[in-house]
Amino acid sequence: MRIFYRYAALLCITALLAACGTTQPKRHSASYKKPPANLTVGQGPNRTLAVYALKFIGTPYYFGGSSPEQGFDCSGLIQYSTKKSLNLNAPRTAAEQSAWGRNISLADIKAGDLVFFETSGQRISHSGIYLGDDFFVHAPSSGGVVRVDSLKNPYWQPRIRIIRRIQP
């Protein structure tokens, strides 16, 4: 019976670690361009979420992290920022978050909407918060920090899978 519990615990830990644990290929780092200095957050029903998440630019990536003290992974940044800015309890993983709220098209995206990506062969393996003007904030990978990227970046653009709008 002990072996069963050990395997069950190992399976749970593996599932949790798979949420946002992908590392980006080297070409992603090379193609990163800092956002414009005059970047402003656009308008949207969840603009407060986008503005709040920007407070964490430079916070270290930490796999499974969900606080500024610990560091963030992609879904941890969304979960923490959503709770603090909108007083909503977001699901923990990117895959769970991708089913939360309502689906919208890329043409209708607004500040504070959630963007989900396929980066590792799993349908949803990464997430971020849309800022406006084609920019989003996210915790990209091990060894990185929370930062802003463009949805037009050749790495991110083809990997966009779902956009969700949560309702406060």
Q: Where are the domains of the chain?
A: 2-165
Please determine, for residue 88, whether its predicted confidence score (pLDDT) is greater than 70: yes
Reported confidence tier of residue 16, pLDDT bands at 50, 70, 90: very low
CATH fold of the domain at 2-165: endopeptidase fold (from Nostoc punctiforme) (3.90.1720)
Name which residue leads in pLDDT, 109 or 1.
109
Reported confidence tier of residue 28, pLDDT bands at 50, 70, 90: very low
Instruction: Out of 123-127, 134-138, 141-145, pick the least confident.
Output: 141-145
Count of Cβ atoms closer than 10 Å to residue 62 Cβ: 16
Please determine, for residue 160, whether its predicted confidence score (pLDDT) is greater than 90: yes
pLDDT at 20: 55
Annotate 19-39 with b (16+ C-beta within 10 A) or e (fewer).
Answer: bbbbebeeebeeebeebeeee
pLDDT at 11: 46
Residues 72, 66 contacting (CB under 8 angstroms):
yes
Q: Which residue carries 């996210």 as its tokens?
A: 138
Q: Which residues are catalytic?
A: 74, 126, 138
| Closest to 49 measured CA to CA, from 128, 163, 142, 158 | 128
Please determine, for residue 25, whether its predicted confidence score (pLDDT) is greater than 70: no
pLDDT in tens, 54-74: 999 999 999 999 999 999 999
Instruction: Out of 17-21, 89-93, 104-108, 138-142, pick the least confident.
Output: 17-21
pLDDT at 27: 35
Give the pLDDT mean for 141-168.
94
